[in-house]
Structure formats: C-alpha cells, structure tokens
Structure 1
C-alpha cells in the first residue's frame, strides 16, 4: 500500500494525504512510502496511517529535517529576498535532507518526493509581501 504524507515546514507539522494530494498556497513536500500491511493502521474514519512504531520513526526523521533546515524554514516564513541561485540551492539541500533523513530508517520505504504549493524561486523587492496593508 502507498501512503503519502504532506510535510509543512512552516507549521512544523505533517498530515496524511493519501490518496489525494490537496492544492496548497504554502510550500509543501509530499513524501510517498510503500508500506506493508502490518505497517498500516486505520483511524476511526477508516483512513490509512502508519502504525504507531513506524510513525515514531517518521516523527524522529521529521524532527531532524526541521532542525537541520531551520535557517531555510525561517527564510521561507519571513519571505526574505534571496538570489535565484540561492533559493534553488537551498531547495535542493532541503530535498536532499528529506531523502537522507528518511532513508536512515529502513522501515520507511520512501518511493517518491514531490514539492507542491508556493515555493519562492525569484523575487524582487517589489514582490515582497507587505502584511501591513
């Protein structure tokens, strides 16, 4: 069975989104895993999720991802200006960190990573969000 989770770095939260991935206005990372029958549990609404032991491994990996990418998370959260190359480099580092951390846990059989939502790539001063207006 495939399980997809949405990683929201700004909120430091994750959500199960299988089978449909919602459209988002915030930067999200979708990670899809291949899970064995015994690795899956079900909510009271009959929605699939990781069994408790597997979810603990995922949470540990997710905490590491958040911690190791704190600087970029703050840049995204504060809508800071960065050169094009720096945004792309930081996004690549983030995706690499997600992959590396999740692969440290053999029980997490990662099969796909997607980025979705609104990721900044190029922005000038005129494109800065002014939250006071």
Structure 2
C-alpha cells in the first residue's frame, strides 16, 4: 500500500493526504511511502495513517528536517528575494535533507518526493508578495 504525507515546513506540520493530493498555495513536499498492512491505522473517517510507532519515527525525521532547514524556512516565510540559482540550490538541499532524515529509519520506506504548491524560483522586487494588500 502507498501512503502520501504532505510536509508543510513553514507551519511545521504534516498531513496525511492519501489518496488525493490537494492543490496548495503554500510550498509543500509530498512524501510517498510504501507501507505494509501492519503499519497502517485508520482515522474515524476511515482515512489511512501510520500506526503510532511508525508515526513517532516519522515525527522524529520531520523534526530533523524542520530544524535542519531553518534558514531556508525563514527565507520562504519572509518572501526574501534570492537569485534563481540560490533558490534551486536551497530546494535541492532541502530535498536531500528530507531523503536523508527519512532514510535513517528503515521502517519508513520512502518511494517518492514531490515539490507542490507555490515554490519561488524567480522573483523580482515587483513580484514581492505584499500581504497587506
């Protein structure tokens, strides 16, 4: 069975999104795992999720991801201008850190990572988000 989780590093939260991945206006990372039936629990709405033991491992990995990417989180949160190459380098480092943190736990069988939502790549001062408008 496959289970997908969205990682919202700005809000420091994750959500189970299987089987439907919602469209997002914030930068998200979708992590898809191949899991065994014994690793699955169900919510009261009959939605799949990790059993507690596996979820604790995932939470530890997620905490490491958030802490390890604090600088880029702040850049995204404050909508700072960066050159194209810097955004792509930061995003590449973020993905590598996600892979590394999750792969520390053999019980978490990561099979796919996706960037979704609104990730900045190119932006000028005129494209700066003014949240007061």
| TM, length-normalised to structure 1 | 0.98
Note the residue ranges of structure 1 that are not aligned, 5 or more in a row.
none
What is aligned with 1:8? 8
Which 4+ stretches in 1 moved above 6 angstroms? Answer: none
What is aligned with 1:37? 37
Alpha-carbon distance between aligned partners in 1 of 2:129 and 2:6, rounded to the nearest angstrom: 25
Classify the secondary structure of the residue corresponding to 1:25: coil
Classify the secondary structure of the residue corresponding to 2:113: strand
What is aligned with 1:91? 91
| TM, length-normalised to structure 2 | 0.98
Alpha-carbon distance between aligned partners in 1 of 2:132 and 2:28, rounded to the nearest angstrom: 25
Alpha-carbon offset, residue 131 of structure 1: 2.1
Alpha-carbon distance between aligned partners in 2 of 1:132 and 1:59, rounded to the nearest angstrom: 34
Alpha-carbon offset, residue 129 of structure 1: 1.1
What is aligned with 1:50? 50
Alpha-carbon offset, residue 21 of structure 1: 0.4
Alpha-carbon distance between aligned partners in 1 of 2:44 and 2:128, rounded to the nearest angstrom: 43
**Superimposed CA distance per residue, residues 68-117 of structure 1 (whole angstroms, 9 cap, x where no aligned partner):** 00000010000000011000000000000000100000000000001100
What is aligned with 1:117? 117
Alpha-carbon distance between aligned partners in 2 of 1:46 and 1:11, rounded to the nearest angstrom: 25
Give the CA RMSD over aligned residues: 0.6
What is aligned with 1:131? 131
Aligned length, in residue pairs: 133
What is aligned with 1:17? 17
